[in-house]
Amino acid sequence: MDYRRDDQNDQHQTESSHTEHQNTENRQLIEHPEQELLDEPVSYEAGKQETASSLEMEKTETAVKKEKKRRAAWLSPILGGIIGGGLMLGIAPYLPSDQDQATEAVSANKQVQSGNFKTTPITNASNVADMVEDLEPTIVGISNIQTSQNNTFGTGGGSSSESESGTGSGVIFKKDSNKAYIITNNHVVEGANKLTVTLYNGETETAKLVGSDTITDLAVLEISSKNVKKVASFGDSSQLRTGEKVIAIGNPLGQQFSGTVTQGIISGLNRTIDVDTTQGTVEMNVLQTDAAINPGNSGGPLINASGQVIGINSLKVSESGVESLGFAIPSNDVEPIVDQLLENGKVDRPFLGVQMIDMSQVPETYQENTLGMFGDQLGKGVYVKGVQGNSPAAKAGIKSEDVIVKLNGKDVESSADIRQILYKDLKVGDKTTIQVLRNGKTKTLNVTLTKQTESSSS
């Protein structure tokens, strides 16, 4: 199954990317049906004699009880892999073992908002049209302008020219004196020589990149606040439930369709996506929605029934016969990253300083004859191909051809597990333990994590 960032450039795919100027295949959109509601019978005490008025009251109570006992049937979409320029994604559904978990919070991260975000729900959110009208001034279009060399005869000279490489969407979340700030996706702004922002009224502004983060696919832009009338409010994504109504607003296929609104529901919570980036493979936690997310919607908001942003649209399914599968980064995951980007322009993460290969890719004969592994040890953990000099791993005593099987007390099955533990459970300066297999014997090593550098990913 083919999935992709909803506006990524890819010369080898038939679906169009970022900009409206590229060809797009026509697709028949299939509406996601509402989940079937199941009624449960309500029993009454047999033989009870009632007056006419009592029977009327009993009918009313029955209707109320039946309405309360309705519940939605669980839908389990089958997801495959995602490919999008710059990021390759492999999707595996997170399916709760108990149906009741379908209505649990999307993220274990409770909402702890800083002063960078407004939280007040809008007052006229009961009407979708009124809500969209209220939110429209906070939605922007973003153009990624890149410079290319014009060298017709290959002589090394020639002139350079600027052209629009792609487009995306964004949402204004903060206004501070003469500056305003926008959240979008990293893949919308990546590689840009210049960024321009188009406001709801058609005014354009040159934007400054405040900071971006490849791992979370988030970026923050700064523009003049001269034409900014309001900012969006952010909600608590941990309170979302499957089946809640949401809307997506953005600029599919560029400015021609700016401010496009699509409506749907939260189709799933806690979807886990393996993302291969320049920083290595990491897991992303996303919301699943059936609100249409088309090329150019990246970076735009997913909005709840109170008119609050509860996600940043980032991914869509791209395969013939599969529709209404879009994904957004939960607002509670977005906010702490945005806070760091505003403060530092980047996100500092710990690293080990090792080159890794998953053991599933190491031949079993090599595991047995060279690494000295046997029995239950085979196929488990991550093979250390190399160790960076003066890194935390080197100082801890990790060596090439070690096999990492535990980090911070947690089992390691793949390099993605190591990055997940590093990025989610640990921080710069933490002291932790690493368990390795060396010549078939288990060793536990102590390591102190330091700041990740630009040239190393784990």
Residues belonging to the chain? 458
Angle at 288 between CA 69 and CA 220, to 5 degrees: 130
- The yes-or-no answer on residue 114 being catalytic is no
Q: Spot the catalytic one: 134, 143, 187, 290.
A: 187
Q: Indicate the SS3 state at residue 330.
A: strand
Class of residue 125 by CB neighbours under 10 A (exposed 0-12, middle 13-18, buried 19+): middle
Cα 207 to Cα 221: distance, rounded to the nearest angstrom: 6
Q: What Å distances lie between residue 73 and 65, 70, 100, 242, 376, CA to CA?
A: 19, 10, 11, 10, 40
Looking at the DSSP bridge assignments, the partners of residue 171 are 139, 183
Write the DSSP string, 137-198.
GGEEEEEEEEEEEE-TTSSS--EEEEEEEEEEEEEEEEEETTEEEEEE-HHHHTT-SEEEEE
Give yes or no: 217 in active site: yes
What are the b/e assignments for 421-458, b being 16+ CB within 10 Å? bbbeebeeeeebebbbbbeeeeeebebebbebeeeebb
φ/ψ of residue 230, rounded to 5: -160, 170
Residue 330 is encoded by which pair of tokens?
Answer: 């939960």
Q: What angle do CA 286, 253, 179 make, to 5 degrees?
A: 70
Tokens 């390759």 map to which residue? 88
Task: Tell me, rounded to whole angstroms, the distance of Cα 332 from its chain centroid.
Answer: 11
Cα 421 to Cα 372: distance, rounded to the nearest angstrom: 27
Question: What's the token pair of residue 164?
Answer: 């629009």
The token pair at 148 is 């290319």
Catalytic residue (choose from 298, 318, 324, 331): 298
Q: Which residues contact 138 (CB under 8 A, 6 or more apart)?
A: 171, 172, 173, 200, 230, 231, 232, 301
Residue in the structure block whose two tokens are 């002589």: 155
Tell me, yes or no, if 177 is annotated catalytic: no
Pick from 84, 32, 19: which is nearest to 284 by CA?
A: 84
| Burial group, residue 32, by CB count within 10 angstroms (0-12, 13-18, 19+) | middle
The active-site residue out of 6, 213, 217, 417 is 217
Which positions are annotated as active-site residues?
Answer: 187, 217, 298
